[in-house]
């Protein structure tokens, strides 16, 4: 059975390690980075979902989300924004993210959001 490939972009090592471990233990293949990688490198990873911190090394992860949604190879890849902001729902909408999770997060909430986004994306692809 093919494992889903998830890219985690988070500059906080502890959070990145926790998210990676949780996803790995749930059967996902996990790639990680702690910087805003060029879009070509992200596309080369062929992620099926991206978990993206709102702020990465004092740069806006939301800008990367907007760029991802403009690139043909990545436009359909669901992006989940992680943030401590109280207006995270509005932030996610403004950058066209597919989901959001408030930090600090409950692992079950994160997993539910990932499953929701993956299911929604699979349904959208199957109806094309």
Write the pLDDT tens digit of every residue in 66-108: 999 999 889 999 999 999 999 999 999 999 999 999 999 999 9
Q: How far apart are CA 36 and CA 87, in angstroms?
A: 22
**What is the model's pLDDT at position 87?**
96
Assess contact for 51 and 80: CB atoms under 8 A.
yes
Domains held by the chain: number: 1
User: Can you spell out the DSSP letters for 76-102?
Assistant: TS-EEEEE--TTHHHHHHHTT-SEEEE
CATH, residue 25:
3.40.50.2300
**What is the model's pLDDT at position 101?**
98
- Per-residue pLDDT for 2 more than 80? no
**What is the model's pLDDT at position 58?**
77
**What is the model's pLDDT at position 9?**
94
> Which range marks the domain in which residue 91 is found?
5-126
**What is the model's pLDDT at position 57?**
80
Write the pLDDT tens digit of every residue in 4-45: 999 999 999 999 999 999 999 999 999 999 887 778 889 989
Query: Which pTM value belongs to this model?
Result: 0.92
């Amino acid at each position: 059975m093919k494992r889903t490939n998830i890219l985690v972009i988070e500059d906080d090592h502890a959070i990145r390690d926790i998210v990676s471990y949780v996803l790995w233990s749930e059967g996902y293949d996990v790639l990680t980075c702690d910087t805003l990688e060029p879009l070509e490198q992200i596309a080369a990873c062929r992620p099926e979902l991206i978990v993206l911190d709102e702020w990465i090394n004092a740069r806006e992860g939301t800008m990367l989300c907007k760029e991802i949604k403009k690139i043909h190879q990545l436009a359909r890849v669901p992006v989940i924004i992680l943030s401590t902001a109280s207006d995270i729902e509005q932030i996610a909408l403004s950058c066209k993210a597919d989901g959001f999770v408030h930090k600090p997060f409950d692992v079950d909430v994160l997993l539910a959001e990932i499953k929701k986004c993956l299911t929604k994306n699979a349904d959208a692809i199957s109806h094309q």
